[in-house]
Amino acid sequence: MKSPALRAVVMLGIVSLLGDIIYEGSRGLIPEYLRFLGASALVVGTVMGAGELVSYAVRLASGVLADTTRRYWGLTFLGYGLIIGIPLLALAHSWQLALAFILVERLGKAIRTPARDVILAAASRGVGKGKAFGIHEFMDQLGAVTGPLIVAGLVWGTGSDFSLVFGALLVPYLVMLASLIRAKRNIGEIGWERKERKAKVGAGAFVTYTAAVGLNTLGLIPAALILYKTAGMVAAAWIVPLVYALIQIVDAPVALLAGYAYDRVGRRMLLLPFALAVVPSVLVLASESIGVILVAAMVFGAVLGMQESIYRAAVAELVPAEKRGRAYGVFHTVYGVALLGAGAMFGWMLDAGAGLAVGLPYVCGVQITAILLLVRTL
């Protein structure tokens, strides 16, 4: 790989790939493990919800801390280091201790994400921000797809010995840390060129853009509810994880292609996922056909791939370099809150059987407002 900048981006992508193998691979196993340790359904739901709350709520503080201290690498190392909570589940002999380890890993996610995105934006010089974030998301999703497969193989190979399965994840954890050390050596400390110290647009544009992304997310039915609808329509339970895999399979290449297109088209590229976000929400609310739900899942995967790549790339263009840590903290926090709101709103619609009578005006109204806000930042 001749380009040092491209090599740096790929190395960061490898770190994320390995991290996803560990924590995304374990996500499907953790609820069963908690049940095995004696946790009730209420505890399992609370544990998983608390983990996601920590993952998003702390990002604002960690972003501010990153910009204040300029310790972008230090926070990134700390965040990835806390993934150790997953292999340590091998030592948990109570659900209370398992809860502590799970929250440690989720805290690590919150600590590292803003700082890592700042580093990725800096490493994108000479590559293109869209391409850099697209490559990163592509490799991240490779880990998200292969991780569950690896864990499933470990469960089968060990005869469902949870301790051995979680303990085996120490291997990719150590490789991940070694890859992160190498990435730091390749990229070096984060410094900013003079032209990067000024945003290309006014400071208010970031606020408007983040509000637009929040509304866009609020009007997009979450993946969990696509799977929930699927589960009520199929007789075979094994079909549901295949639908989730379909979402991830679409996500990865779309993220990469969108990143390349973003560097050519610019922020106008964001209009595509904003408009497409209407489709999966309407299809899931309106249809009782599994074929239509599969189409909704694929379109959702495409939107998700662009959310995770070019949405993040746009932040780096709207905010001065020295304020990107807190900007990514705010961005991810708003995104997390919007995810929670979308889950509640669309969950209510599905439970109430609201269908298009309620869903169509809501989805179209929210997404049109989001697009109007987005246009103001282009």
User: Do residues 34 and 165 share a domain?
Assistant: yes
Average confidence (pLDDT) over 289-318: 88
User: Do residues 111 and 209 share a domain?
Assistant: no
Q: Among 156, 191, 226, where does a domain finish?
A: 191
Contact at 8 Å (CB) between 284 and 221? yes
Q: Among 166, 191, 216, where does a domain finish?
A: 191
Average confidence (pLDDT) over 166-174: 94
Tell me: pLDDT of 30 over 70: yes
- What's phi and psi for 341, nearest 5 deg? -65, -40
Q: Which amino acid is at 147?
A: G
Which tokens in the block code for residue 306? 């662009």
Q: How confident is the model at residue 313 (pLDDT cuts 50, 70, 90)?
A: confident
Tell me: pLDDT of 7 over 50: yes
pLDDT recorded at residue 41: 67
Contact at 8 Å (CB) between 292 and 177? no
pLDDT recorded at residue 196: 47
Tell me: pLDDT of 364 over 90: yes
Of the two residues 190 and 23, the one the predictor is more confident about is: 23
Q: How confident is the model at residue 19 (pLDDT cuts 50, 70, 90)?
A: very high
Of the two residues 321 and 364, the one the predictor is more confident about is: 364
Give me the number of domains the chain comprises.
2
Average confidence (pLDDT) over 298-321: 87
pLDDT tens-digit series, residues 62-119 = 888 888 888 889 999 999 999 999 999 999 888 889 888 988 998 998 899 888 888 8
CA distance 55 to 223: 18
User: Do residues 284 and 230 share a domain?
Assistant: yes
pLDDT recorded at residue 375: 93
Count Cα atoms within 13 angstroms, Cβ side, for 7.
11
pLDDT recorded at residue 216: 95
Average confidence (pLDDT) over 331-336: 85
Average confidence (pLDDT) over 363-378: 93
The DSSP code for 88 is: G
What is the domain range of residue 182? 4-191
User: Do residues 269 and 181 share a domain?
Assistant: no
User: Do residues 231 and 370 share a domain?
Assistant: yes
User: Do residues 88 and 117 share a domain?
Assistant: yes
User: Do residues 178 and 213 share a domain?
Assistant: no
pLDDT recorded at residue 180: 92
Least confidently predicted of 44-48, 90-94, 335-339: 44-48
Average confidence (pLDDT) over 322-348: 83
For the entire predicted model, the pTM comes to 0.79
CATH number (domain holding residue 295): 1.20.1250.20
User: Do residues 251 and 200 share a domain?
Assistant: yes
Mean pLDDT in the chain?
A: 84
Q: Among 191, 213, 239, where does a domain finish?
A: 191
Tokens 């004696």, residue located? 38
Cα–Cα–Cα angle for 268, 321, 317, rounded to 5 degrees: 5
Least confidently predicted of 99-113, 163-177, 198-212, 276-290: 198-212
- What's phi and psi for 319, nearest 5 deg? -125, 140
User: Do residues 182 and 257 share a domain?
Assistant: no
User: Do residues 168 and 289 share a domain?
Assistant: no
Contact at 8 Å (CB) between 173 and 12? no
pLDDT recorded at residue 199: 47
User: Do residues 209 and 254 share a domain?
Assistant: yes
Tell me: pLDDT of 31 over 80: no
User: Do residues 45 and 70 share a domain?
Assistant: yes
pLDDT tens-digit series, residues 196-246 = 444 444 568 889 999 999 999 999 988 878 888 887 776 666 677 678 778
Tell me how far the alpha carbon of residue 155 is from its chain's centroid: 25
pLDDT tens-digit series, residues 107-157 = 998 899 888 888 888 877 777 888 888 888 888 888 888 888 888 888 888
